[in-house]
Amino acid sequence: MKKLLAALGAAATISLTAFSAGAQTYPERGITIVVPFAAGGPTDTVTRLVAEAMSKDLGQQVIVENVGGAGGTLGAKQVADADPDGYKLLLYHIGMATSATLYRNLPYKTLEAFEYVGLVTEVPMTILAKKDMAANTLAELVDYAKTNADKVTVANAGIGAASHLCGMLFMSAIGTPLVTVPYKGTGPAMTDLLGGQVDIMCDQTTNTTKHIQAGTVKAYAVTTPKRLDVLPDVPTTTEGGLKGMEFGIWHGLYAPKGTPAEITERLSKSLQVALKDENVVARFAELGTVPSPEADATPAALKAKLESEIARWKPVIEAAGQYAD
């Protein structure tokens, strides 16, 4: 046992010296970004695009590893436990903030387990209904929902999903609870909306833009302060009469607690370069989103965002009384 402790101690010393030596030459090998969701989803897509651009800037391969499960918290846990050497990072969306309330037994402390690199993007949400919904404006939709509260169904992609959060926010904004229909993922929920099996859904533009453009669903509002370039005909929630219902699915890049500041700064610089990459900007635009501005792709901005979002969602989730564990 003593020997083991001694060995561990020695290992720790070696690794500490390795850090200080490593900070100047960082990165000297490939970096892994953990995406806490399955490959192919919107977060995975965002990460892969950014990772490719960061590889160019850092001169080292940035690999994406998918560690899905438990609403993203398994992947987050893995990074929280990783060596704070800047070689294992986490790209997680708004779930980082909501899981702090949704999960009552998180195996890490959200605000204490990570260092911050910066915000990546904030994907707007769109409020949709099935194609043959009678209402033509957001105000009409709200009226219809209020008068038919026991008939109107709202689809979501599972507890904690963007569409679930947006649905909760919509119901609290109109002050009327509706019948919630959960699905396993966005795909099947969207299928049922297209087929008219459910009435309303609110989801990220990454999933909805193509359907809105093709006219297979009706779009009522975007949850941003300004209209979107890709959907110029869709009014904002404020224009439509739902003031304060502004939110987006923001994505942040994190490192394990204790990662040296020089390294997070270096990563933050690289993220800023990546977010200006032509390919990233173009692909993000096709998905109906924009990269975060340089001022937001910083450790301080991400930290502030996470803190304010945890505070914002806590009462909404507690009011709904639904937890994920």
Partner 1 sequence: MELFDNLSLGFATASTLANLGFCFIGVLLGTLIGVLPGIGPTATIAMLLPITFQIGDPTSALIMLAGIYYGAQYGGSTTAILINLPGESSSAVTAIDGYQMARKGRAGAALATAAIGSFVAGTVSTFLVALLAPPLTGIALQFGAAEYFSLMVLGLISSIALASGSIVKALAMVVLGLLLGLVGTDIYSGTPRFNLGIREYSDGLNFVAVAVGVFGIAEILRNLEDEHERSVAVKKVSSLWPTREDWRRMAAPIVRGTFIGSALGVLPGGGAILAAFASYTVEKRISRNPGEFGKGAIEGVAGPESANNAGAQTSFIPLLTLGIPANPVMALMIGAMIIQGIVPGPNVATEQPALFWGIIASMWIGNVMLVVLNLPLVGLWVKLLTVPYYMLFPIIIAFCSIGIYSVNSNIFDLYSVAFFGFVGYVLVKLRCEPAPLLLGFVLGPLLEENLRRAMILSRGDFSTFVTRPISATLLVLTAAVLAVVLLPSVRKKREEVFVEDE
Partner 2 sequence: MVIDRANALCGAIFIAFGAYFGLNSLGMELGTPFRMGPGFFPLFLAAILIVLGLAIAIPAIRVEGEPIGSLPLRGMVFILPSPVLFALTLKGLGFVPSIFLATLLASFASTKMRIPTALILAALMTAFTTAVFVYGLGLPFRLFGPWLGQR
Residues that bind partner 1 (CB under 8 A): 38-41, 44-45, 48-49, 52, 64-70, 73-74, 77-78, 102, 107, 150, 153, 158-160, 179, 181-184, 187-188, 190-192, 194-198, 209-211, 213-214, 216, 282-283, 286-287, 322-325
CB of 171 to partner 1, least distance (A): 16
Cα–Cα distance, 248 to 231 (Å, whole number):
16
CB of 67 to partner 2, least distance (A): 10
Which residue number, 76 or 127, has a Cβ lying nearer to partner 2?
76
Q: Which does 74 bind (CB under 5 to 8 A by kind): partner 1, partner 2, none?
A: partner 1
- 11 binding partner 2? (CB under 8 A): yes
Please list, in sequence order, all residues whose beta carbon lies within 8 angstroms of the beta carbon of residue 151, skipping any fewer than 6 positions away: 179
| Dihedral sign (CA 98, 104, 106, 108) | positive
Cα–Cα distance, 261 to 303 (Å, whole number):
14
Amino acid identity, residue 183?
A: Y
- 18 binding partner 2? (CB under 8 A): yes
Cross-strand partners of 155: 181, 201
Residue labelled with tokens 């561990």: 8
For residue 126, give Cα distances in angstroms to 37, 179, 245, 249.
22, 19, 11, 11
- What do you get for the CA distance between the two ends of the chain, in Å? 37
CB of 115 to partner 1, least distance (A): 22
- Binding letters toward partner 2, positions 51-90, x by CB under 8 A: ----------x-x-x-----------------x-x-----
Strands 88-92 and 31-35: parallel
Cross-strand partners of 157: none
Q: Which stretch binds partner 2 (CB under 8 A): 10-18, 115-123, 290-298, 305-313?
A: 10-18
Which residue number, 9 or 195, has a Cβ lying nearer to partner 1?
195
Binding positions for partner 2, rule: CB under 8 A:
11, 14-15, 18, 32, 61, 63, 65, 83, 85
